[in-house]
Structure 1
Amino acid sequence: MRKTHEWKDTIFILLAFCIMILLYFSSSMSYQDQNVQPFLERILSGEPLKGLLEVVRFSYAGNEVSIQASGYAGFVEFFIRKAAHFGSFFLLGVFWFLGLKNKSSSYILAALLALLLAAGYAGFDELRQSFNPNRTALMEDVYLDSLGAMTGIAISWLMSTRGSNKKSNRRKLKFR
């Protein structure tokens, strides 16, 4: 059984590195290369839910986020970009945790290592963006990325402990 765990652990660690490579190349691209506003303007030309979304207004990294400030497509794109931040680091946290949980002495240590690796990479990624003239490095994105990783780690931990409790209950039933 341990061999199966070692193989799965290695796969999860390789997936974490794949996510990091994808993030590296994604943040090397200029904003213009990633701009989806023209596409959004085409598919959302009727501006669905505009009446409902017009009341949403908040500040992110010192800039106002609203339809009035960014236009409808820019407003929607903001949420797509931030969901991509959260989602990619969610996966990074999941893969690091699942890859490390059987290699460390406790789930707590695996969770801390996974969070440090993901949050550290988020900081590195934003630092790299600060050297790209067409990109903006934001500490708020590091926080969002870290929150995504933390959420992925927490859910993975809960699912792992839940799964191990079911297995131990099955073993108890078999050997009684």
Structure 2
Amino acid sequence: MKKYIFLIVGILIMLFCISSMTYEQQTIVPTLQETLENKPFYNLLSKLELTYWDQTISVESRGYYYFVEFLIRKGLHFAGYGIIAILIYRIYRKFQFQLAGICAVLSIFVIASLDEYRQTFVEGRTGIFDDVLLDTYGAITFVILFKLFSALYQKIKQRNSVE
């Protein structure tokens, strides 16, 4: 269990450090311009439009590289907090806590809220509730998938031990 706690603390420190950086310090647009010079999937991506923070986000409104960066950043939010949620879920399960999934998701909601609030004090950053929701959706998705895969694994394991 200690390894989960250390891993969670390490990931949270990393997330808080990254969210303490200004956008200019953490942008990956120059790297994307070099790496994706030929603009792969441009036709597909140019058909996507997302509403985020009451704004339309698209290739047309932001440009190809900024749109790709937006997708990567938000995907990392979703997946990063989802992974933390699984680790928190595992800790709650170690204590035989029946509502481990719900508590893991609520823990992520609190952590994400605190992180977004903290970002309001970072120059050039804004803390927005949409990111808290995205992080929480990531937690919900990852915990549900983890529970489904764990149940499936247990069924397969039981079936193999009977045979």
Instruction: Please give the TM-score of this superposition, normalised by the length of structure 2.
Output: 0.89
- 1:4-83 equivalence runs, <5 A: 9-83=1-75
**CA RMSD after TM alignment:** 1.9
Output the CA distance in 2 between the equivalents of 1:60 and 1:71. Answer: 16
- 1:16-165 equivalence runs, <5 A: 16-106=8-98, 109-165=99-155
Unpaired runs of 5+ residues, structure 2, are: none
Give the secondary structure class of the aligned counterpart of 1:133.
Answer: coil
Q: Which amino acid aligns with 1:146?
A: T
- Displacement after TM superposition at 1:63 (Å): 1.8
Output the CA distance in 2 between the equivalents of 1:140 and 1:117. Answer: 17
Unpaired runs of 5+ residues, structure 1, are: 1-8
- Displacement after TM superposition at 1:166 (Å): 5.0
Moved more, 41-50 or 116-125: 41-50
Change in Cα spacing, 1:166 to 1:13, as seen in structure 2 (3 Å) is farther
The answer (yes or no) to whether the contact 1:89–1:145 under 8 Å persists in 2 is yes
- Displacement after TM superposition at 1:167 (Å): 5.4
| 1:54-90 CA distance string (max 9 Å, x none) | 2222321022211121111001000010011011101
- Displacement after TM superposition at 1:10 (Å): 2.6
Instruction: Please give the TM-score of this superposition, normalised by the length of structure 1.
Output: 0.83
Report the structure number with the largest CA radius of gyration. 1
The answer (yes or no) to whether the contact 1:97–1:156 under 8 Å persists in 2 is no
Q: How many residues align?
A: 163
Output the CA distance in 1 between the equivalents of 2:3 and 2:146. Answer: 16
Output the CA distance in 2 between the equivalents of 1:26 and 1:58. Answer: 24
Change in Cα spacing, 1:52 to 1:158, as seen in structure 2 (3 Å) is closer
